[in-house]
């Protein structure tokens, strides 16, 4: 009985190793961009589960503004796009790996609010004090 349990355990480990060795299965390709609308700016966060470094571009379609940013292997990277007009916008997020293969191509939507200089000043005080979690604009957290 004990010998059968050991054999079953070794067989499952060998099977897991074989699956991990197959190309395309070992590296997950589930990337989810997380755009957040703020006061006349948009923050886009990409979390990579890829086995290669990514080059990403985020473009606010029709609202103005775009940014290009790298995302290292297994890392999470955020970029803030300033100067976005208030309104409801789509954000085209596209990431390619170092070989040029598209790994992410999504178009989520965000709501962008009108600027508020008083709240922005308050947020800058929170951020400079090391309390960015208290910022009223979610793109600054």
Predicted confidence (pLDDT) per residue in 63-120, tens digit:
789 999 999 998 999 999 999 999 999 999 999 999 999 999 999 999 999 999 999 9
Is the per-residue pLDDT at 25 higher than 60? no
Instruction: Tell me the domain boundaries of the chain.
Output: 3-140
Domain 3-140 -> CATH class: mainly beta
pTM of the model: 0.75
Instruction: Give residues with Cβ within 8 angstroms of 31, minimum separation 6.
Output: 46, 47, 48, 49, 50, 54, 95, 103, 104
pLDDT, position 102? 94
With cut-offs at 50, 70 and 90, classify the pLDDT of residue 30: low
The confidence score (pLDDT) of residue 34 equals 85
Cα 135 → chain centroid: 20
């Amino acid at each position: 009985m004990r010998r059968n349990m050991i054999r079953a355990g070794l067989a499952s480990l060998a099977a897991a190793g074989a699956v991990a060795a197959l190309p395309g299965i070992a590296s997950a390709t589930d990337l989810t961009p997380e755009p957040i609308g703020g006061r006349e700016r948009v923050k886009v966060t990409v979390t990579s589960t890829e086995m290669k470094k990514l080059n990403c571009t985020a473009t606010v379609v029709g609202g103005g503004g775009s940014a290009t940013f790298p995302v290292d292997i297994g890392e999470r990277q955020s970029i803030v796009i300033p100067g976005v007009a208030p309104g409801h916008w789509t954000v085209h997020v596209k990431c390619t790996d170092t070989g040029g293969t598209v790994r992410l191509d999504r178009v989520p939507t965000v709501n962008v609010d009108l600027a508020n200089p008083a709240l922005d000043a308050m947020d800058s005080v929170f951020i400079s004090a090391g309390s960015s979690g208290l910022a009223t604009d979610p793109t600054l957290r």
